[in-house]
Amino acid sequence: MLLEDVVGADLVLLEDVVGADLVLLEDVVGADLVLLEDVVGAELILKYDSPSVMQGRRDVNCVTNWNVPLVWEGTFDPIVVDSIYKKLNPRIAVILFAVGKYTRFLKAFIESGEKNFMVGFRVTYYIFTDHKEEVPKVALATGRNITVLPVPSATRWQDVVLGRMKWATIAIDQQVRREADYVFMMDIDSIFYHRFGAESLSRLSAVLHRAFYKTTRAHFPYERRPQSQAYIPADEGDYYYTAAVWGGYLEDMYKLVKHCHEQSEIDAKNKIEAVWQEESHLNKYLLYNKPTKVLSAEYLWSAYDKVPEDIKVVRISQLVKNYAEVRPNGGN
């Protein structure tokens, strides 16, 4: 099959098909080897609105300065995006930590995820917990599963946060690598409200932190102490990313979580803890290993904050909670 026979043009680059300037084929389809006709589906007829180069979001920036998509509502067609990925049937892992009293958030997260997260795709929720008996039974759609993995209890919430990189590294290496093509890390104390779909998939997808997406690097809470491995100089930085939602292609995620774990271990030996634990190390990594897709704050809002006009859809949001009660050592 010739590419021009599929897409109806004399000459088309792969990025013209999948909507990105530079895309590895395996990043698009989540597989090591596929035929082009498997990607674009020559026999599949889709009905969707005609795309335009003159119309679209003009109130926000939709591309980064390294020329990758910055995803907002109104910048993608879910029918087109899903048609690319659903035909390829990728396996998507969601890594969740429900340690101590955080098991109370599992039911609402999974139930809302079943309604809004990657609907129609194969998804496995990997739940890391010290109370496996408190993992609820939730009705799951076909092709969707829950896997429970044990982790030790913690006396500090900071240790839970820093431990996520360690346990994710181990789990990906020992199990998840055989069972998934993409991996998301998500905070369990959240609820999905609207579609969170295949438009979020890429080699590395990072989410803009809701509190800092309208500010400049001078206001970002980067780690500014040179003694830490998470240190970012004052004159550097792109965006400030949340560590509550992020994801990507499995092998790229493995490199990320392993690196951040190793960097936090070096910090521990030097008796320093990054100002925002794993989030500080994540931001350092993504500054020098730039994400291939940036997701707007729609992809993680908070019930603490009023929704501004530029956020047209809240896809997932963190819940209001009593931190002093749910965290082992309290605090915000």
Q: Which residues pair with 288 in a beta bridge?
A: none
Query: Residues 126, 144: contact at Cβ < 8 Å?
Result: no
121 is in an annotated binding site: no
Chain centroid to Cα 236, Å, comes to 23
133 is in an annotated binding site: no
Could you give the CA distance from residue 171 to residue 165 in angstroms, rounded to a whole number? 10
98 is in an annotated binding site: yes
Verify whether residue 223 is a known catalytic residue.
no
- The catalytic position among 279, 298, 309, 325 is 279
209 is in an annotated binding site: yes
The residues, ordered by sequence, that sit 6+ positions from 318 with a Cβ below 8 Å of its Cβ are 187, 189, 190, 244, 300, 301, 302, 303, 304
Q: By C-alpha distance, which of 288, 264, 287, 266 is closest to 276?
A: 264
3-state secondary structure 150-170: ECCCCCCHHHHHHHHHHHHHH
219 is in an annotated binding site: no
Q: By C-alpha distance, which of 323, 264, 300 is closest to 100?
A: 323
189 is in an annotated binding site: yes
146 is in an annotated binding site: no
Residues identified as active-site: 279
Cite the annotated binding site by residue number: 97-99, 102, 187-189, 209, 279
